[in-house]
């Protein structure tokens, strides 16, 4: 900032440099402004892409996905919790472990198939893409 001249410093150069320094510090230089504008435009483009994805139903809100998977989990839980009551009486008369395993395997597979076939009770998520 200081420019040495014979017998001292050039006050005019000092003031110009000081003003330029403070103005640049307060407003940012052109490189920062250009970079910020480019960043802003990238963010706007990303936002637009997300909005288009939502409108075209390529993207869905995370809360809807969470709700749908909660419905799936509840359906699985409910069907699996029904198994002991349904299978318990069948297993009382079974004499071999192989026969008991076969009954359990069949009942579990039927429960899972019923879950897969019915979707969820709320109908929010069926695992199919009906829009295409």
Cα Rg for the chain, rounded, in angstroms? 35
pLDDT of residue 126: 45
Helix ranges (H only) for the chain are 11-27, 30-55, 62-92, 97-118
C-alpha 12/C-alpha 86 separation (Å) is 97
pLDDT digits (tens, 9 = 90+) for 52-65: 998 998 988 899 99
pTM metric for this prediction? 0.48
Residue 46 has pLDDT above 90, yes or no: yes
């Amino acid at each position: 900032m200081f420019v040495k001249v014979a017998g001292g410093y050039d006050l005019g150069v000092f003031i110009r440099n000081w003003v330029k320094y403070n103005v640049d510090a307060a407003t940012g230089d052109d490189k920062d402004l250009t970079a910020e504008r480019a960043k802003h435009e990238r963010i706007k483009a990303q936002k637009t892409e997300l909005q288009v994805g939502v409108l075209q139903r390529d993207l869905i809100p995370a809360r809807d996905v969470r709700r749908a998977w909660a419905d799936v989990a509840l359906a699985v839980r409910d069907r699996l919790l029904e198994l002991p009551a349904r299978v318990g009486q069948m297993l009382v008369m079974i004499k071999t472990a192989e026969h008991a395993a076969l009954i359990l395997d069949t009942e579990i597979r039927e429960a899972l198939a019923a879950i897969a076939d019915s979707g969820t009770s709320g109908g929010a998520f069926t695992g199919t893409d009906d829009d295409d």
